[in-house]
Structure 1
Amino acid sequence: MGAQLLDESPVFADRIAECEQALAPHVGWSLTEVLRDGRELDRVDVVQPVLWAVMVSLAAVWEGYGVRPAAVIGHSQGEIAAACVAGVLSLQDAARIVAVRSDALRQLQGRGDMASIGTGPDEVRALIGDERPGVSVAVVNSASSTVISGPPAEVAAVVSEAEARGLRARLIDVGYASHNAQIDELAGQLEERLSGVRPVAVSDVAFYSTVTAGRIDTDALTAEYWVTNLREQVRFAETLEALQADGYHLFIEASPHPVLVLPMEETIEAGTVVPTLRRDQGGTKQLTLAAAQAFTAGADINWRRWFPTPQHPIDLPTYPFQHHHYWLKRTRPHPPTPGAQPTASEAQLWRAVEERDLGLLSQTLGPEEGSEEAVQALAPALPVLGSWRRRHQEQATIDSWRYHVTWTHVPDSGSPELGGDWLLFVSAGQAEHPAVQAVFDALTKHGAADVRLCSVEPRTDLAPVRTDGLAGIVNLLALDEDPHPDHPAVPSGLAATIALVQALGDTGVPLYTVTQGAVSTSAADPLGRPVQAQVWGLGRVAALEYPRLWGGLVDLPARIDHRTLPRLAAALSPQDEDQIAVRSDGVHVRRLAHADPVGIEASWRPEGTTLITGGTGGIGAVLARWLAHQGAPHLHLTSRRGPDAPGAHQLTTELTDLGTHVTVTACDVSNRQQLRDLIDTHPPTAIIHAAGAADLTPIGELTAAHLGGVLGAKAHAAWNLHELTRGLDLSAFVMFSSGAAVWGSGQQGAYGAANHFLDALAEHRRAQGLAATSVAWGPWAEAGMSAGEESLAYFKRFGLLPLGSELCVKALHQAISSGRPTLTVADFDWARFTPTFTAQRPSPFLADLPENRRAAEGGGSDAELSAFRAELEKTPAAQRQDFLVRQVRAYAAATLGRAVEEVPAVKPFQELGFDSLTAVQLRNQLNSATGLALPPTVVFDHPTSEALATYLREQLGVEGEAGEGQVLTALDKWATAYDAAGLDEAARRRVVGRLRALVSKWSPAADGSENGGHDDLEKASADDIFDLISSEFGKS
């Protein structure tokens, strides 16, 4: 009877102790001892006080869960507990009542009995009849449950007659007859012993009496009432009906066993009955189940008893189906229809509203709606309409910036055959790691000829790795999460991965990097290893800097089973996908998608102390001003220089004038002790981690020391903040990440690793029920590390447009309020960004975006291609070189953002300022204009406008020349189309013979002339050559 809860529930145990103290003056036994050993519970003067104490203590547990009753009802002596729970009786008076009444009942022991009859009160009264005057209806529980009481023999006779009529009937083992006339002889002494008992307060909890079958004034709960309660019939069913009629719908039975649930459910037509404990199920597990039942019925449960920090709903399903596909095939969104764009008249209407131009408004609306009277009537509304329009335009802009990372389920590709020799790089001592064993087994069971483990020690400088004859390399170094021995902010596995990439160089052998638990494919798949996630940020940059080396990133599940191996082997096979998560429910690939639009209103508000790391920097200052305008009571700004940082004093003054208390502290947030002292001094209620430093260093030049400097300010500091504030009730934990972590950016390997850790930490925290928001930003226009003119121009050429800080803070506010852990905010010019980003290797990550899919399906601009071709064809042959030079100069100038005059025809592109990025952009523009498929290195292979124009002329085959480039391209296509290894010996001899015949036609004749059966190459057109190849080999 609740004994288990004494050990498992501090609330229950504390209330029981209070009850024991209240009972002590009236009983000679220990409440806790009786609860633990169960002895003496057959005594009425023991069992009734014990039941009272358990009921009161269970109600305290419910209140600890956040459930405080709006009304109470008690069953017989349960009314004593109900009055106590409602606050009407003191614990001492309640203990006195239950102890005195149960002690008095001992005087009636053996003189009466009680019995339960399975029918309603009318039929029971008929059973009793007139010949049994000592028997009465004691309790009416429901229409099919009635209790009688009276002398033992007469009660037994009623039970026998009921059974004879086929009714369910049984004696209740109590040995006395309460709610019967026998109580009358106790009335005098009870009133005397309970004199002085009276209500202690007027309660806002309604008290429903089973004596009167309705709500009563609690002033009536005097000593006389508690005698009447023991004497009169318990009208439980009628009282339940009164409660239901008054609108109550959730009923919780606070007792050690749900003896009343069935009659309650029978009586209550529209409501829910929740039992608290069950016999032999008296622990916190049953309490948790009860709380869940109450929650589903509408109770406002305080889940912090189970989850000390806020929890967030997850999307179904929470488990994978084992034999059937769950995932629906993704459908492609339709491109925007013309109706989605504003018409000219709509645009004019809104311009009239925004400029408050009544004349233009009248003109736009037309002669009827735009009459002078109608327009004048609209005039007062123009400011409101204009404001609404601006807000919604701003929101539309923000929505267009919002992206998020998704994981798409892809079908299993069967059981692949890998073949060849493989190297596995692992950290020293991790050869037996489950993930290492899984990779080894996946390779060996799927055709790998030889798999060798290479163990790497910390501080090891790897020599160049020989890759001759290898089919693939698997990097498992990221599994080592231990801090680097010389640079604690750097995981050893991340440093070793960089050393491995440097040792391999951009070889043609694919390098696959494997992690375990480093990504979250859904809310049901928590991210358990945020430290390993850093290698994912590094890997996206490595894919750009080492496109021939990089095979991909593969994440394994926390639990590896038999389904993992074939999926893992498939992930290590040649394919387009390079960011893969293998899970028990299948394989998932990483994608960028538009985030759903959000509403304009954002609910989060700063309260208490908001800590901003990097608070005196450009973005930190923007955030501080925004928070001050939001009414932040206290802002704690920290940076390395603190009050001595440039502009810190002026910022403090400005924020103070806005009514915000400001503290500025010098602190290195990567230093755990400094940060601990800062947090202890001013415990935050919200945190914004905006500290960090930009970094442009190729992976080939990275060292562990350099990596430590970048990771320290971002990743290591974020982890310190996470660990040091886990016990605080934070309303927000915001981290400023970067787009470099989401899609990868050249020369930002360290920066990408650091920022991706922030995204992973947000996922990790949210899985633990902690507040977390990580926003990966594109370049800010007015603040931040990329705010300089040169940087912004660079990003624009790349296809990333600058973000206005005013809209950025609105986007941030909405992100915090949304409860989602991660978000990407960037303004892409996809026509520029995607071709440049995918110049060296394809990017499936971007493939599902509608903008990129339309471009892939539609190819280049037909209008641009036709115009270029038309202009070229009408240009005289002698002037075509000059025409192409002018075109190249114009495209080069546009790429650099310069005037054409600033791009001399013979000046090298590198001297003009071209780098690998802008070179690829120029190549892409020339591809679109000419229809050619120029190589990515074409700008450096032909380094001036003059040279590049000459190359284009050759590739285009203008002036009637043979077009060597086109012929060679055709031959390349032919060579690719035919695989000699697929032919038998006889077929190879026939093909070689035909090739020799073709060569002889192009070679000088035996007589020394230049005619080998055809006009020489100089006289042949490109079409002649193509026809020749086609006729000889059947394919051009």
Structure 2
Amino acid sequence: MEAPRTWGGCIDLPARPSAPGLPEEEYNTLAEHILAASVPPLGPVEDELSLRNGLWYAPRLGKAAPLPAVLAPLRCREDSWYTIVATPSPAHRPLAEHLIAAGAHQLLFIRDTTTGTPPEPDERWIKELTTTGTTIKVIDLTPAESTQDTLARATHGKPIAGVVIAPTPLPARPLTTTAPHHLAAAQATIDTATHVERALHGTPLDFFYVLSSAAAAWGATGMAVPSMIDGALTSMAANRSAAGYAAAVLRWMPRTDTGELTRRDQLMMENSGLTPLTAADVTQSMDVLLRADYQDATVARVDASRYAASCRTQTDRGFLDLLGRPDTTHQQDTAEQPPTTIPPLVTELLALDPGLRADRLLDTVLLHVTDVLGESSGREVSPDRGFFELGMDSIMAVALKTRLDDVMGIDLPATLTFEFPTGRALAQYLLDGLPTATTPQPDPTQPSIEGAEDALDDMSDDELMSRLLAGLATSEQLLGEES
């Protein structure tokens, strides 16, 4: 995503613990794929590949199958431990609360210490959860003791019935600033998860969940290191599933409340058709995903067509091949096409008296300008100050265009904020582009002026009051226009 002219991606090779490495013919096959990918392709680029039993597999992003009408509740055993491989943070609280609500009485968090002292856990919410009678322990894995012994000592020999691998979300980091120690930290996260999985390999588990980053899996600027973690953990889950053990990968798009996104990151997501999730989104979807039978699922608020089009401007990836392609297999006659839906704002503007439309549009434009600038609601944006004088950059300009595209229902020019550089100029441009409302035809079911008095005589009190209120509203509009 950051270097579209240079091939880069994730290749999942068969695990060979007894004889590391690949046979020469498989190395040659791998080299052929990479070299072929470095040539300008005739079709989509395959940048995620998996080699199994001599066959290559490539993933495709598509809409998940519908959920069943009734989901079985998640039930945890009171006498067993449930392990969360993560340093406890507020981002992990919804997960802990779901397990406790499902009946878990003993939670074991496993931190990583292979690269030094890990960050201290947030004790406040842990203490709040322990007041419910839940035992929560936080332990470290160290080279001085085997993982099996560490787990047995922490649980006093009681069984572990479920595992959740939940790496702490990492901030986006461009490739140009990614250093070896960032990769080392990512590898430490992978190693910790691997040690736990191997220690419990063969142990009957109710579930083994990998919670990961959708941005890392789908591909995004600054996601090289998180993608490294996601690829390794996804491969771990796939190997467990192939061996007949419980495993599922559940991913979420970045949240607005975890600190992983800057304001600029949020706007870039929005420009590409993605909306950051809220804490409520994660809590609600987690309740569903932990009970659904998905092996690999992602939670995202996405405009599929816009997202696919945005990605294809840089690289046409095979991963997105099912998204946003025009359907040429079922061409319909133009007369059979459904009418275009008019956006609510346009409908409202056309219903307004023409003299009131400019102010309504200006309010809308300034509202979106204020939002993309990140200004507080207490500071007003002058309609006559230039956008770039206010601090708007190119990312913000695209975000403003995207929002106005949505509310106006049209594709505005890419140079919108350069050609109309103030709120007032932009609002006037949008006003000039409004469709002309057709003059309404007389409704034969309504009484004409002639005989109006007879019609009034036949109306009920409620009908007369409705007519009176409608007349007053029209008068107020006219008086406001004159003043």
Instruction: State the TM-score bracket (shorter-chain normalisation).
Output: 0.5 to 0.7
Give the whole-Å Cα distance in 2 for the aligned partners of 1:832 and 1:626.
34
1:828 aligns with 2:302: yes
For residues 90-148 of structure 1, give each alpha carbon's deviation from its aligned partner in whole angstroms, at most 9, with x where no partner exists.
xxxxxxxxxxxxxxxxxxxxxxxxxxxxxxxxxxxxxxxxxxxxxxxxxxxxxxxxxxx
CA gap 1:614/1:862 in 2 versus in 1, 3 angstroms: same
Give the total of aligned pairs: 394
- For 1:737, the aligned partner's letter is S
- Listed as ranges, the gaps of 5+ residues in structure 1 are 1-500, 519-526, 531-556, 957-1036
Q: Is the 8 A contact 1:779 1:792 kept in 2?
A: no
Q: How much has 1:765 moved relative to structure 2?
A: 2.4
What residue in structure 2 maps to residue 679 of structure 1?
A: 151
Bigger drift between 766-775 and 883-892 goes to: 883-892
Instruction: Classify 1:647/1:515 alpha carbon distance in 2 versus 1 (closer, same or farther; 3 Å).
Output: closer
- Does 2:166 align with 1:699? no
Offset, 1:744: 2.2
Q: How does 1:29-44 map to 2 (within 5 A)?
A: none
Q: How far is 1:825 from its partner?
A: 2.3
What are the Cα deviations for residues 361-403 of structure 1, in whole angstroms up to 9, with x where unaligned?
Answer: xxxxxxxxxxxxxxxxxxxxxxxxxxxxxxxxxxxxxxxxxxx
Partner SS, residue 593 of structure 1: coil
Give the deviation of 1:613 after TM superposition.
2.8
Aligned pairs (5 A) from 1:97-136: none
Q: Which amino acid aligns with 1:594?
A: A
Of 332, 342, 359, which aligns to 1:863? 342
State the alpha-carbon separation in 1 of the partners of residues 60 and 346 from structure 2.
39
Partner of 2:188: 712
Aligned to 2:322: 848
Answer with 792-801 or 676-685: which moved more: 792-801
Aligned to 2:385: 906
Q: Which amino acid aligns with 2:71?
A: I
Inter-partner Cα distance in structure 1 for 2:223 and 2:201 = 31
Cα distance change on mapping 1:595 and 1:618 into 2, 3 Å: farther
Following the alignment from structure 1 to structure 2, what is the Cα–Cα distance between the partners of residues 622 and 943? 45
Q: 1:637: which partner in 2? A: 109
Question: Which protein is bigger by CA-based radius of gyration?
Answer: 1
Q: Residues 45 and 315 of structure 2 are in contact (CA less than 8 Å); yes or no, is this contact kept in structure 1? A: no
Amino acid corresponding to residue 284 of structure 2 in structure 1: L
SS in 1 for 2:251: strand
C-alpha displacement of 1:567: 12
Partner Cα distance (2:413, 2:192) in 1: 46
Deviations 1:581-624 (A, max 9, x none): 59877885622322341441146534522122336322433333
- Secondary structure (helix, strand or coil) at the match of 2:211 reads strand
Q: Percent identity?
A: 17
Q: 1:823 is matched by which residue type in structure 2? A: A
2:62 to 566, 587, 592: 592
Listed as ranges, the matches of 1:548-947 within 5 Å are 569=36, 572-579=39-46, 581=49, 588=58, 590-598=60-68, 599-602=70-73, 605-606=76-77, 608-614=80-86, 616-639=88-111, 645-647=121-123, 651-652=126-127, 654-655=129-130, 657-665=131-139, 667=140, 672-673=143-144, 676=147, 678-682=150-154, 684-713=160-189, 715-726=190-201, 728-779=203-254, 784=258, 798-804=274-280, 805-815=282-292, 818=293, 820-828=294-302, 830=304, 840=314, 845-846=319-320, 848-849=322-323, 863=342, 889=366, 892-893=369-370, 895=372, 901-902=380-381, 904-909=383-388, 911-912=390-391, 914=393, 916=395, 918-925=396-403, 929=408, 934-935=413-414, 938=415, 944-945=421-422
Pairing of 1:335-734 with structure 2 (within 5 A): 510-513=5-8, 516-518=11-13, 528=15, 569=36, 572-579=39-46, 581=49, 588=58, 590-598=60-68, 599-602=70-73, 605-606=76-77, 608-614=80-86, 616-639=88-111, 645-647=121-123, 651-652=126-127, 654-655=129-130, 657-665=131-139, 667=140, 672-673=143-144, 676=147, 678-682=150-154, 684-713=160-189, 715-726=190-201, 728-734=203-209
CA distance in 2, matches of 1:784, 1:950: 35
Does the 8 A contact of 2:60 with 2:320 survive in 1?
no
Q: Give per-residue Cα distances to partners, 1:209-253, cap 9 Å, x unaligned.
A: xxxxxxxxxxxxxxxxxxxxxxxxxxxxxxxxxxxxxxxxxxxxx
TM-score, normalised relative to structure 1? 0.32
Letter in 1 for 2:46: Q
Q: 1:750 to 1:788 in 2, by over 3 A?
A: closer
User: SS where residue 249 of structure 2 aligns?
Assistant: strand
User: Whose helix proportion is higher, 1 or 2?
Assistant: 1
Which gives a bigger RCO, structure 1 or 2 (Cα 8 Å, sep 6+)? 2
| Structure 1: distance between partners of 2:229 and 2:339 | 37
**Distance change (3 Å), C-alpha of 1:691 and 1:728:** same
Q: 1:843 to 1:901 in 2, by over 3 A?
A: farther
Give the Cα separation in 1 of the matches to 2:199 and 2:88: 22
Q: How many Å apart are 1:762 and its aligned residue?
A: 1.2
Q: Counterpart of 1:191?
A: none
Q: CA deviation at 1:511?
A: 2.0
1:568–1:892 distance in 2 versus 1, CA, 3 Å:
same
Closer/same/farther in 2, CA of residues 674 and 619 from structure 1, 3 Å limit: farther
CA-to-partner distance for each residue in 1:171-203, whole Å, 9 max, x for gaps? xxxxxxxxxxxxxxxxxxxxxxxxxxxxxxxxx
> How far apart are the structure 1 equivalents of 2:339 and 2:145?
56
Counterpart CA distance in 2 for 1:751 and 1:582 is 18
RMSD between superposed Cα atoms in Å: 5.4
Rounded to whole Å, the distance in 2 between the matches of 1:866 and 1:730 is 53
Cα offset, 1:738, TM superposition? 0.9
1:718 shift after superposition: 1.8
Deviation at 1:776, TM superposition (A): 0.8
Q: Structure 1 residue 775: deviation in Å? A: 1.2
Q: How far apart in 2 are the matches of 1:787 and 1:516?
A: 27
Asked if 1 retains the 8 angstrom alpha-carbon contact of 2:205 and 2:246, the reply is yes
CA contact (8 A) 1:710 1:751 kept: yes
Q: How far does the alpha carbon of each residue in 1:801-820 deviate from its partner, in whole angstroms, 9 at most, with x for none?
A: 425254244224214xx3x5
Any conservation in 2 of the 1:802–1:827 contact (CA below 8 Å)?
no
Cα deviation for residue 752 of structure 1 reads 2.8
Distance 1:710 1:859 in 2: 50
8 Å contact kept, 2:61–2:319? yes
What is the correspondence of 1:175-324 to structure 2 with a 5 Å cutoff?
Answer: none
What do residues 853-889 of structure 1 show as CA deviations (whole Å, max 9, x unaligned)? 79xx999967369969x98xx999xxxx999988865
Alpha-carbon spacing, 1:708–1:942, altered in 2? closer, same or farther (3 Å):
farther
Work out whether residues 927 and 934 of structure 1, in 8 Å CA contact, stay in contact via their aligned partners in 2: no
TM normalised by structure 2 equals 0.61
